[in-house]
Structure formats: structure tokens, C-alpha cells
Amino acid sequence: MQTKVLIPDAGAYQLASDLLNRGELVAFPTETVYGLGANALNREAVLSIFSAKGRPADNPLIVHIHDRSQLDDLCTVPPLAGRLMDAFWPGPLTMLFVRKPAVPLEVTAGLPTVAIRMPSHPVAAAMLKACSLPVAAPSANSSGRPSPTTAAHVLEDMNGKIPLILDGGECDVGLESTVLDLCHDQPTILRPGGVTKEMLEAVLGQKVLLAGSILRPLGENEVALSPGMRYRHYAPKGSVILVEGPEERTVPLLRKLCLEQRQAGKKTCVLCFTEHVGALTDCDPHDIGSISSPCEIAHRLFQTLRLLDEEGMEAVFSEVVPPEGMGLAVMNRLGRAAAFRTIRA
Ligand code: TXA
Ligand code: MG
């Protein structure tokens, strides 16, 4: 199959709509990462997402909508959700609602809940409107690779497997949406993202919990609240190790670790803040963004992780950010890329 990459115009939206209505796959930009979309109400179409990605069938998908009226057929919405929709939709917030029978169990991996979000990216919104369908879409990467934040990343993973990629440029947030469970006693973040815990608490006026496995590996007998948390994810091919501690100690330690690995013959680099690039020039520093801007770090993270593979890095040492605000989402992804291996400086 030939994969077309189109800059969205009226013709491209028409083609995307025709393909989706015929049960085929279309990759499209959102404000978080690129999604790999199919008609959420068509079982076969949904199954073809899993085969294109090589995704385990027990990892459920997010359904994307452009208008709240679409919710009626899909799910039952708890009262708390209205305030969050007013505040954060369209935007990078996914909420879990109780599924209605119209949603195939293939979408929810058999779970009683369905994850729904309304993306704010104009191309996503226009495509969803053009096709008049709820669109199930995971991130448009091959399973296990970092999520794509450009059309070129999608093409790397999906070339020949899907008919169309809508090219909307670089994604703004760069990390996937916040996944919030509203179906249990207390609102719980299953995956941190662009809408932070602090932002949710400010609107709800109550405490929001964090799923246990956000900043550590899942225990052997622990049930994943969000099945996606079980899988090795965002992981470059080389080994990644996090280095934490006060900056007067982390920078020299990063340098020492890097040079040791290099002497051992490994292709090695460091991921460091813009402010530390100058002190690490002999360590092939990869600038992850300013120490004072977790949003900038989020925006660049996945493209940096992809670059490590292209460069054939075998050992990578990375600085860490405080796990607050957007920093929590950054540390969830970076932590998992490192399998949470950490050295204290
Ligand atoms: O920003 C995003 O959310 C992107 C764009 C394309 O919208 N999508 C995305 O989808 O990241 P995906 O499939 O890569 O991640 C969906 C996450 C997974 O961790 C999955 O386990 C979780 O949401 N999820 C989906 N439905 C769920 C459910 N019913 N219960 C618990 N977790 C669920
Ligand atoms: Mg994904």
C-alpha cells in the first residue's frame, strides 16, 4: 500500500473522511501527538489499528470526538465531568466514562469504561467534523516506540501500512493527553499529560489522586489501572539511566558516567538542560530544553528519544526534572524510557 502524506486542504479532508467511513486508517495530528484513527464504531476498522501498530489487544483505545452531542451514544457521563469539559475541552484531557453498547469491546479491550477526548488541534477537529464519526485513535507509532510528534515520525513507523497521513506540522504539547478516571470514588490520573494534576484540582476543588505506577515500575502482581502502563514504552534501543540530585553534583557525575562508558567502547551521550550544555561539551550533550521550562522539555522529549535510535546510542545518561506540573508527565515518560533506573548524585 502506498502511504500518502498530505498537507490538509478541502480535498485531503474529503479523502480522510471517505477512508474513515470505508473502515480504513488515517493518521492525523493532535495538539499532543499524532493519532492513528479508525471509525470507533466499526469492529474490523478498530482491529486493523492493532495490527498496523503491533499493539497488544488488551490495551484499550481513546475515542476522539469534536462535539459533546456525540457522547450520548457512546457513554454515561458522571456529573463531575461537565466542569472539566468546560475547562479543558477541546484539549489534552482524556476522561474514562461508563461505556454504552454501541462502542465495540475491541475499543475498550473488554473494559466497562471508554476513554474519550476532544482534541483542540484544528486539523483533528476539522477531520472529525468532516467524517462525522467518533474516531478511535492510539498514538500513531509502532507499539513500543516513542509517540510521533511529526508526520515524518508517523511515516517512519507506518509507511506502507496505512493509506493517508495528514501533515499538520509539529505537535504543540509533544506528550500524550492526561488520562483521568472518573468512574471510581475519587478522580485518579492514570497517565499524566498536558492538563496537570494542579489544573484539575483547581477546577474540581478537590484532591486528584495519582495511579501508583506513574513514577515507578508496576509491581509483579499489581493490576494496571490503565493497561498501557504495563508495557515497555517510549524506550530507545540503548540503555537510559537517570541521574538525580543537586546540580553541582549531577553535572560532574553525568560527565564521569559518560566518559567511563565511552572508554568501555559504547556509543554514549547525555541528555541535559540547555543551561548545562556548556559544561558537558565533551559528552555529546543533547539539549532537552531549559531547566525552567518543563513544557519545552515535554515538547522535545519524544523527538530526542527517536534521535537516540537513529544515532545508534548504546548508553544514555539523563538529567531529571521535579515531578510537578508538566514535570510529572515528563518524568513518567522519561522514567519509563529508563525503566526507572536512577543513580543519585
Ligand atoms: O494524546 C493522546 O491521548 C493520544 C492522541 C492521539 O489522542 N493518544 C494516545 O493513545 O496516547 P494511546 O492508545 O497511545 O494511549 C491510550 C492510553 C493507554 O495507556 C490506555 O491503556 C489508556 O489510555 N486507556 C484507554 N482506555 C482505557 C480504559 N477504558 N481504562 C483505562 N485506561 C484506558
Ligand atoms: Mg501510545
d(Cα 302, Cα 328) in Å, to the nearest integer?
15
What is the number of the ligand closest to the CA of 56? 1
Measure 181 CA to ligand 2 centroid, in angstroms: 17
Q: Is 279 exposed, middle or buried (0-12, 13-18, 19+ CB in 10 A)?
A: middle
Q: Which atom of ligand 1 is nearest to the CA of 114?
A: 29
Check residue 231 and give its pLDDT: 56
The HSE-up count of residue 186 (CA atoms within 13 Å, CB side) is 11
In this predicted structure, what is the pLDDT of residue 225? 72
pLDDT given at position 234: 72
Run of H or E residues at 343: strand 342-344
Least distant ligand from the CA of 176: 1
Peptide bond into 56 cis (omega under 30): no
Give, for all 345 residues of the chain, the pLDDT tens digit.
Answer: 999 999 999 999 999 999 999 999 999 999 999 999 999 999 999 999 999 999 999 999 999 999 999 999 999 999 899 999 999 999 999 999 999 999 999 999 999 999 999 999 999 999 999 999 999 999 999 998 899 999 999 999 999 999 999 999 999 999 999 999 998 889 999 999 999 999 999 999 999 999 988 998 877 777 777 776 665 567 788 999 999 999 999 999 999 999 999 999 999 999 999 999 999 999 999 999 999 999 999 999 999 999 999 999 999 999 999 999 999 999 999 999 999 999 999
The three three-digit cell numbers of residue 183, written as one number: 468512574
- Measured from the alpha carbon of residue 61, the closest ligand is 1
Contacts (Cβ under 8 Å, ≥6 apart) of 79: none
pLDDT of 235: 77
Quote the pTM value: 0.96
**Alpha-carbon span 71 to 77, nearest angstrom:** 8
Q: Quick one: which atom of ligand 1 is closest to the CA of 140?
A: 6
Q: What was the pLDDT predicted at 232? A: 58
> DSSP characters for 180-214?
EE-SSSS-EEEE--SS-HHHHHHHHSS--EE-GGG
List, chain by chain if needed, residues with CB within 6 Å of any ligand 1 atom: 30, 32-33, 35, 59-62, 94, 96, 108, 111, 113-115, 117, 137-139, 176-177, 179, 190-191, 226-228
Domains of the chain: 4-215 (3.90.870.10), 239-344 (3.40.50.11030)
What pLDDT was estimated at residue 217? Answer: 82
Closest residue by CA, ligand 1 atom 10: 138
CA of 263 to the centre of ligand 1 (A): 41
